[in-house]
Amino acid sequence: MKRILIAGGAGFLGSHLCDRFMKEGYKVIAMDNLVTGNIRNIEHLFKHPNFEYYHHDITKFVHVPGPLDYILHFASPASPIDYLKMPIQTLKVGSLGTHNLLGLAKEKKSRMLIASTSEVYGDPLVHPQNESYWGNVNPIGPRGVYDEAKRFQEAMTMAYHTFHGLETRIVRIFNTYGPRMRLDDGRALPAFMSQALKGEDITVFGDGSQTRSFCYVDDLIEGIYRLMLSDYHLPVNIGNPNEVSLKEFAEEIQHLIGSHSKIVYQALPQDDPKQRQPDISLAKELLQWQPLVDRSEGLRITLDYFKKELGV
């Protein structure tokens, strides 16, 4: 039976990965320090003999007894609210945390997959973004702590691949949504949904013309699963190319909920990307993968989750 370590396993994406690998018959170890995660995301797995949980900060030396076939690195504050509150921790988890896990992978001869991000493209000058674009990132702006940590993480992972011959995989994740997102993580979707459900004004930054492309979590997890089992070590975009402006998106959520909330506009945060759309040609060809869940269906499922969380 294969054994896998999932760092950040109690987070939004990490917990869905735990579910998926448990379902595939793996022994799963979730490692987390719960800075932004929630033990409730994985508590249903605790009764299972193939599941273990280690409470640990991966910026400290990481030790796991026994063999490990795979390591997934999904530990990092991921939303602007989180990483602006924890700038140094964010830099450390992308750098020291990645180094610690790569060291563990080398010792155990594991294959390691890292969660990179569309943020490595910064405020992109190329549209849509494909993997060969190098990005437009402001290293010293407020978002630099996250973007540069992820760029360093990719560089370090490539160095372990070329220098130590480690088997590595790099997924560049575009905005993903679904159950287990935190309502207060400051991202557009949970913010719009909770404001509309509470009858508060829906706050859109800028004039709302900036675009995002939202991928439903099940589609992302499928893409990651296929990439991990592939033999491709260079970065691969996984996301949904269906692009929408934030103004249209707020209206979509307003209609879905049947809310009478007003849409109000606030100042655009510094370095907010103006456009975001993945070019997924590589994932299609390499992994025979493409997103299957359309936004209206994904939003309905996510809304049910948020309603339960809010008790409405």
Nearer to ligand NAD by C-beta: 57 or 261?
Answer: 57
Which of 8, 178, 179, 208 binds ligand NAD (CB under 6 A)? It is: 8
By the rule CB under 6 A, 32 interacts with ligand NAD:
yes
In the residue annotation, 146 being an active-site residue is answered as yes
By the rule CB under 6 A, 34 interacts with ligand NAD:
yes
Nearer to ligand NAD by C-beta: 147 or 259?
Answer: 147
Q: Contact at 8 Å (CB) between 132 and 120?
A: no
Tally Cβ neighbours within 10 Å of residue 165.
10
Rg value, the chain, Cα: 19
Q: Contact at 8 Å (CB) between 7 and 97?
A: yes
194-253 positions binding ligand NAD, by CB under 6 A: none
> Across the beta sheet with 111-117, what order do the strands follow?
51-55, 27-32, 3-7, 70-73, 111-117, 168-173, 236-238
Cα 205 to Cα 153, 197, 269, distances in angstroms:
29, 19, 7
By the rule CB under 6 A, 29 interacts with ligand NAD:
no
Nearer to ligand NAD by C-beta: 88 or 140?
Answer: 88
| Residue located via tokens 């869940």 | 293
By the rule CB under 6 A, 36 interacts with ligand NAD:
yes
- Distance from C-alpha of 19 to C-alpha of 22, rounded to nearest angstrom: 5
By the rule CB under 6 A, 33 interacts with ligand NAD:
yes
By the rule CB under 6 A, 74 interacts with ligand NAD:
yes
Give me 109's structure tokens.
């001869």
Q: Report helix, strand or coil for 129.
A: strand
By the rule CB under 6 A, 124 interacts with ligand NAD:
no
Binding mask 84-113 for ligand NAD (x = CB under 6 A): ---------x---x----------------
* Number of residues forming the site for ligand NAD (CB under 6 A): 28
Catalytic residue among 146, 160, 177, 216: 146
Judging by DSSP bridges, how do beta strands 211-213 and 243-245 pair with one another?
A: antiparallel
Which of 14, 144, 223, 291 binds ligand NAD (CB under 6 A)? It is: 14
By the rule CB under 6 A, 188 interacts with ligand NAD:
no
Give me 69's structure tokens.
């076939």
Q: Report helix, strand or coil for 63.
A: coil
Catalytic positions, written as ranges: 146
Residues in contact with ligand NAD by the rule CB under 6 A: 7-8, 10-14, 32-37, 57-59, 74-78, 93, 97, 115, 117, 173, 175-176
